[in-house]
């Protein structure tokens, strides 16, 4: 299904994923207030004024994911992400290990540092 906004995407998600992603949405927005919500790769994301995507999120069958839209961001945070399942471009979580405000702020800051070069 194609979504045109974050609200539509979230409304289509089952619980507990919907609640986890609503919280993550708020955390990302707080960490990067100059970003605007958009849809990128058919998933909710946040775009900076310079057009670059700083973060996104998605729901999958068994987990939710934070998506930095970069293959370098997660690797740059090293031990801060211990205990999380991750790929090069996604940090997986469930209700048992949802990211804290501090972790999301660190993820956004790391991605912004990449973008700002």
pLDDT per residue as tens digits for the range 47-102: 999 999 999 999 999 999 999 999 999 999 999 999 999 999 999 999 999 999 99
pLDDT at position 7, please? 97
- Pairwise CA distance, residues 73 & 114, whole Å: 8
* 6-116 fold: 3.90.1150
Tokens of 99: 């990211």
| Residue 30 to residue 109: CA distance in whole angstroms | 12
The most distant pair of C-alpha atoms in the chain lies apart, rounded to whole Å, by: 38
Average pLDDT of the chain? Answer: 96
pLDDT at 2 over 90: no
Helix (H) or strand (E) run with residue 65 in it: strand 64-67
Q: What percent of the chain has pLDDT over 70?
A: 100
The conformational region for residue 69 under phi > 0 = left, psi -120 to 50 = alpha, else beta, is left
pLDDT score of 51:
97
Asked if the model's pLDDT at residue 11 lies above 80, the reply is yes
For the chain, the residue count is 117
Residue spans of the domains in the chain: they are: 6-116
């Amino acid at each position: 299904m194609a979504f045109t906004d974050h609200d539509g995407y979230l409304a289509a998600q089952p619980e507990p994923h919907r609640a986890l992603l609503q919280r993550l949405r708020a955390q990302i927005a707080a960490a990067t207030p100059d970003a605007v919500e958009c849809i990128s790769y058919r998933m909710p994301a946040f775009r900076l004024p310079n057009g670059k995507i700083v973060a996104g999120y998605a729901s999958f069958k068994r987990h939710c994911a934070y998506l930095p839209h970069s293959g370098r961001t997660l690797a740059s945070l090293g031990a801060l992400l211990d205990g999380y399942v991750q790929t090069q471009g996604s940090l997986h979580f469930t209700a048992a290990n949802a990211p804290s405000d501090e972790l999301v702020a660190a993820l956004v800051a790391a991605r912004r540092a990449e973008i700002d070069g």
